[in-house]
């Protein structure tokens, strides 16, 4: 350690009490985090790229400072999905400090990592008060059945009105309209569930029928329209 001449000539004054860092809530306990291995928690959050043309929702499960599980969901440019594929390999097995200082390929994913780092090290994780935290694999629960991201995609014009394209339930196939041409419900296909049934050997048409549902007053529709073509 190098000291300036001024510091070298100073009188040494004894340091008073050292109470250490303030404890943070982590997985049902209060922790004085002094090292990376003292950090734990599951949390998720959103990051965005510099031109704000895309976003990433990142879920991390950290145990003893190590990223044990990562779920990466992106929306925006097509390249983000490929970046997410690489980042999913990069993140797991690293300490959160390593992950923070690693190029995660996409700026939105990097920003999401920065925001989650702050949440976790300040004890603002989703599992702060959950005893023992959540097991590795809990991140998949964000996706629900069929392991598909719950994406909302809506489109509208002043001239022709609204179109529901994708809801949390799935891919919207028909909009239900009443006598005034107002939306009163919709029909959807849960693509993840349908693909699971096909994977297990079910005929595709049968799987499609079983994975199709409706919401609202769909049965009362005066007419239905295909939101992508009508």
Q: Give the three-class secondary structure for 21.
A: coil
Please list, in sequence order, all residues whose beta carbon lies within 8 angstroms of the beta carbon of residue 213, skipping any fewer than 6 positions away.
169, 170, 187, 188, 190
pTM of the model: 0.84
pLDDT in tens, 25-81: 999 999 999 999 999 999 999 999 988 889 999 999 999 999 999 999 999 888 899
What value, to the nearest 5°, has the Cα angle with vertex 194 and ends 92 and 145?
45
Average pLDDT value for residue range 136-145: 82
10 Å CB burial of residue 145 (0-12, 13-18, 19+) is exposed
pLDDT in tens, 1-16: 999 999 999 999 998 8
């Amino acid at each position: 350690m190098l000291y300036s001449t001024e510091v070298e000539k100073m009188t040494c004054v004894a340091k008073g009490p050292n109470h250490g860092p303030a404890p943070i809530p982590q997985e049902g306990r209060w922790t004085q985090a002094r090292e990376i291995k003292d950090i734990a928690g599951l949390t998720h959050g959103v990051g965005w790229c510099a031109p704000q043309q895309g976003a990433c929702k990142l879920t991390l499960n950290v145990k003893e400072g190590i990223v044990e599980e990562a779920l990466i969901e992106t929306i925006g440019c097509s390249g983000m999905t490929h970046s997410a594929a690489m980042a999913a390999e990069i993140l797991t097995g690293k300490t959160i400090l390593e992950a923070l200082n690693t190029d995660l390929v996409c700026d939105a994913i990097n920003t999401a990592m920065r925001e989650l780092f702050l949440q976790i090290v300040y004890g603002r994780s989703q599992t702060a008060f959950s005893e023992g935290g959540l097991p590795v694999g809990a991140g998949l629960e964000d996706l629900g059945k069929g392991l598909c991201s719950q994406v909302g995609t809506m489109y509208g014009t002043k001239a022709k009105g609204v179109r529901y394209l994708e809801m949390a339930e799935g891919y919207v196939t028909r909009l239900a309209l009443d006598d005034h041409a107002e939306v009163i419900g919709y029909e959807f296909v849960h693509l993840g569930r349908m693909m699971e049934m096909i994977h297990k050997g079910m005929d595709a048409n049968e799987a499609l029928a079983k994975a199709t549902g409706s919401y609202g007053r769909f049965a009362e529709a005066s007419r239905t329209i295909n939101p992508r073509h009508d």
